[in-house]
Structure 1
Amino acid sequence: MKKLDTAFYNRADVVKIAKELIGKVLVTQFGEVITSGRIVETEAYAGVIDRASHAFGDRRTNRTEVMYKPGGVAYVYLIYGIHHLFNVVTNKQDVPHAVLVRALDPIHGINAMLERTGKHRADYTLTKGPGNVSKALGIRTSHTGMSLLGGEIYIADDDFVTAKKDIIATPRIGVDYAGEDAKLPYRFNLKDNPYVSGKKGKLTS
């Protein structure tokens, strides 16, 4: 596998990056424990102009400041006090774009994932939904700001080929508060993959 480099993350089109992350492999290595899964669902968040983004209106807080770093670092935040959500920061310094990883198809370290999630058997809920992704891979808010170019958390290309016709674009999930921006087709998923959360939506070219 070839680790994605700075050039991949530092591009201006966060929607294109979110789409291109489909099929890539998210890997964590904490101590001796390695876990990984193929990314099958993502959502793009376009920063200051996107009402669904934490950085909408150039909102800079202790939590969102990491989004303003150059692309290629992790943004991990907590929702409902329990779910740690893993995002990939993209674009250049001071442009707060990010991609939420919503689902994985497990590849390596399933026993470790089961232990972390408290499950007794591997079913589709193991890495379906962003909270489960982070829990299974051991990602927590303490990892926010971590470089994705290092050895603990990174994304790699293993030459898996995803046909354009198999990538589906739909509106994002759970962002009704964003008004018209909630309708933007910024969520991507791999057609017919059982780990994808929510409704599959319509096929786009």
Structure 2
Amino acid sequence: MDTNSFFINRPTAEIARDLLGRTLSFDNGQEILSGTIVEAEAYVGVKDRAAHSYNGRRSQANEGLYRAGGTLYIYSQRQYFFFDVATQKEDEPQGVLIRAIEPETGIETMIKNRHGKIGTLLTNGPGKMMQAFGITSRKWDLHRLEDSPFAIDLNNKKDIEKIIALPRVGVSQADPYWAKKNLRFIVSGNPYVSDIKKKDIKENHGFILTNN
């Protein structure tokens, strides 16, 4: 499937849900660092009080959201960087934030990039994930996904037992409607989901295992 057909012409929440189970990778020039997407949040544009484009806000900092679906919107908060992909057509500023991945390849390099953090602490949050990839700038902001070192496998995905929709993380309770809206999607039982409790972790990490 091509980038345009995946990221345009369907609801952003549906896109966020469909990203679960797919591989997100980063080519650092020496090796491929990758992981399975297990948590993603949808931000649905100018009406969404939690979105950076709420009420039509537009600046150099959030311009990525206003580009056509499949454009990277990489932003920073404090010393951390975050990976967002624009959805919808140009000037309809919606996007999906990838919040967590389960590491697949390049794990030793990820551990070094995370200063020795191992296990779920490696990539169980959006800032942690980007640090694990070695991202230290917004260099790839505004690039098309296919024209960047990042890639998302849009043709294959792992089979998931159950996807749960939950409220997004860090959305102010001052606006209860958007704070409670279930626009965060997780692979139920996966240990890399950012706020999962130990009792909820499944042995199969929430994926349907095959004997192949």
Partner of 1:113: 110
Partner of 1:98: 95
Distance in structure 1 (CA, Å) of the matches to 2:196 and 2:27: 31
Q: Deviations over 1:77-109 (max 9, x none)?
A: 111x11101111111000011100000000010
Q: Deviations over 1:13-45 (max 9, x none)?
A: 100000000001101102122100000000000
Total equivalences in the alignment: 196
Partner of 1:19: 17
Q: Deviations over 1:103-150 (max 9, x none)?
A: 00000100111111111x631110000001111112342221121113
Distance in structure 1 (CA, Å) of the matches to 2:159 and 2:85: 20
Partner of 1:65: 63
Partner of 2:206: none
Distance in structure 2 (CA, Å) of the matches to 1:148 and 1:47: 20
Partner of 1:187: 184
Distance in structure 2 (CA, Å) of the matches to 1:155 and 1:42: 13
TM-score by length of 1: 0.89
Partner of 1:50: 48
Partner of 2:146: 149
CA RMSD of the aligned region, Å?
1.8
- The one-letter code matched in structure 2 to 1:87 is D
User: Could you say what secondary structure the match of 2:51 adopts?
Assistant: coil
- The one-letter code matched in structure 2 to 1:169 is A
User: Could you say what secondary structure the match of 2:145 adopts?
Assistant: coil
Contact 1:51/1:178, CA 8 A, preserved across alignment? no
Partner of 2:207: none
Distance in structure 2 (CA, Å) of the matches to 1:38 and 1:97: 22
Distance in structure 2 (CA, Å) of the matches to 1:135 and 1:168: 26
Contact 1:9/1:72, CA 8 A, preserved across alignment? yes
TM-score by length of 2: 0.86
Distance in structure 1 (CA, Å) of the matches to 2:158 and 2:30: 29
Equivalent in 117, 128, 131 of residue 132 of structure 1: 128
- The one-letter code matched in structure 2 to 1:168 is I
User: Could you say what secondary structure the match of 1:141 adopts?
Assistant: coil
- Greater shift, 47-56 or 172-181, is seen at 172-181
Q: Deviations over 1:173-196 (max 9, x none)?
A: 101156111111000000100000
| Structure 2 unpaired stretches of 5+ | 201-212
Higher relative contact order at CA 8 Å, sep ≥6: structure 1 or structure 2? 1
| Structure 1 unpaired stretches of 5+ | none
Contact 1:166/1:191, CA 8 A, preserved across alignment? yes
Equivalent in 165, 170, 173 of residue 174 of structure 1: 170
Distance in structure 1 (CA, Å) of the matches to 2:12 and 2:134: 25
- Cα distance, 1:167–1:177 mapped onto 2, change above 3 Å: same
- The one-letter code matched in structure 1 to 2:163 is I
